[in-house]
Amino acid sequence: MKKIMLLLILFAAKNGLAQKVATAQVPAAAKAAFSKAHTVATETWEREGANYEVNFKESGKSMSCVIDKNGTILETETDIAVKDLPQAVRNYVAQHYKGVVIKEAAHIQKNDGTKWYEAEVNGRDLLFNEAGVFTKSVKD
């Protein structure tokens, strides 16, 4: 039984499943980059593969950043209302997931300047480019 549990833990770690980490365990460069970009009182950190994800609220909005160990902010995600998704995204979901409601929506700003949208449907994150064109589906 212990071997099975160990294998499950190793599998989860290897496959990048988010794991909560104490702020003290986050590299100083990642914390400094976050503090420079965002001034918030409370944040929680998770390990996401080789990177770190920080969840926080800013100006009343739920947000997160993915930051590498060197302090590069790879992306910033901001929750948005479903109605604020581009019409093309909402049309795609209505056509391919008939009768299913979008649970959550987000706008993602990548560090290369590209913008993306995310719609959570049936436990999956559907990703769309800035024009609202579907690109991929990722299991939560």
Average pLDDT (26-42) is 92
Give Cα 21 to chain centroid, integer Å: 16
57 in Cβ contact with 38 (< 8 Å): no
pLDDT score at 17: 58
Tens of pLDDT, residues 42-80: 999 999 999 999 999 999 999 999 999 999 999 999 999
Give the pLDDT mean for 10-23: 63
The DSSP secondary-structure symbol of 25 reads G
* pTM confidence score: 0.81
Task: Please state, in angstroms and as integers, the Cα–Cα distance from residue 115 to each residue in 37, 44, 125, 129, following that order.
Answer: 18, 24, 16, 7
Domain positions in the chain are 1-71, 81-140
CATH number of 81-140: 3.10.450.360
User: Is pLDDT at 11 greater than 70 in this prediction?
Assistant: no
Three-class secondary structure of residue 40 per DSSP: coil
pLDDT at 5 over 60: no
- Locate 121 and state its tokens: 């449907």
**pLDDT tens figures, 85-131:** 999 999 999 999 999 999 999 999 999 999 999 999 999 999 999 99
Looking at residue 80, what is its pLDDT?
A: 98
